[in-house]
Structure 1
Amino acid sequence: MTHKTTLIAALLVAASFPETSRSDIEVPSLSEVAGRYAITPGSRIAFTVDQVGGGGIKGKFGKFSGTFNLKAGDLPHSMVNFELKPGSVSTGQARIDAFLRSGAVFDTDHFDTISFRSNRVEQTGPDSARITGTLTAKGRSMSESFDVKLTGWSGRKIAFNVSGRIFRSRYAMDVGTPIYSNVVQFDMMIEGLRS
Structure 2
Amino acid sequence: MPVRNLSAVALLCLALTCPAAAAVDLAGAAGQYRIDPGASRIGFAIDQIAGRGIAGVFANFSGTIRIDGQQVGRSEVDIDVAPASVSTGQQRVDDFLRSNAVFDVAHEKDISFRSTSVKALSDTSATVIGHMTARGKTGNETFTVQLDSQSKNRITFRITGKVLRSRYGMDVGTPIYSNVVDFEMRLTATRQ
**TM-score calculated relative to the size of structure 1:** 0.84
Contact 1:25–1:151 (CA under 8 A) maintained in structure 2: no
Matched, 1:63 2:60: yes
- In 2, the alpha carbon distance for the partners of 1:86 and 1:74 equals 33
2:33 aligned partner: 37
Aligned-residue offset at 1:150 = 1.3
- In 2, the alpha carbon distance for the partners of 1:29 and 1:89 equals 32
1:174 aligned partner: 171
Bigger mean CA offset, 119-128 vs 179-188: 119-128
Which segments of 5 or more consecutive residues in structure 2 lack a partner in the other structure? 1-19
What amino acid is the match of 2:86? V
Matched, 1:119 2:119: no
Aligned-residue offset at 1:63 = 0.2
- In 2, the alpha carbon distance for the partners of 1:160 and 1:26 equals 16
2:23 aligned partner: 27
Identity value in percent = 47
- In 2, the alpha carbon distance for the partners of 1:171 and 1:177 equals 14
Contact 1:81–1:118 (CA under 8 A) maintained in structure 2: yes
- In 1, the alpha carbon distance for the partners of 2:77 and 2:138 equals 16
- In 2, the alpha carbon distance for the partners of 1:164 and 1:54 equals 22
Q: 1:129 to 1:30 in 2, by over 3 A?
A: closer
Q: After superposition, what is the alpha-carbon deviation per residue over 1:43-95, rounded to whole angstroms, capped at 9, x for unaligned? A: 10000000012300000000000001111212121111110100000000000
Q: 1:127 to 1:179 in 2, by over 3 A?
A: same
2:14 aligned partner: none
Which one has a bigger Cα radius of gyration?
Answer: 2
Aligned-residue offset at 1:25 = 7.6
1:162 aligned partner: 159
**TM-score calculated relative to the size of structure 2:** 0.85
The number of residues matched between the two structures is: 172
Aligned-residue offset at 1:154 = 2.2
Q: Work out which structure has the larger RCO, using CA pairs closer than 8 Å and 6 or more positions apart in sequence.
A: 1
Aligned-residue offset at 1:124 = 2.1
- In 2, the alpha carbon distance for the partners of 1:25 and 1:59 equals 35
- In 2, the alpha carbon distance for the partners of 1:25 and 1:174 equals 47
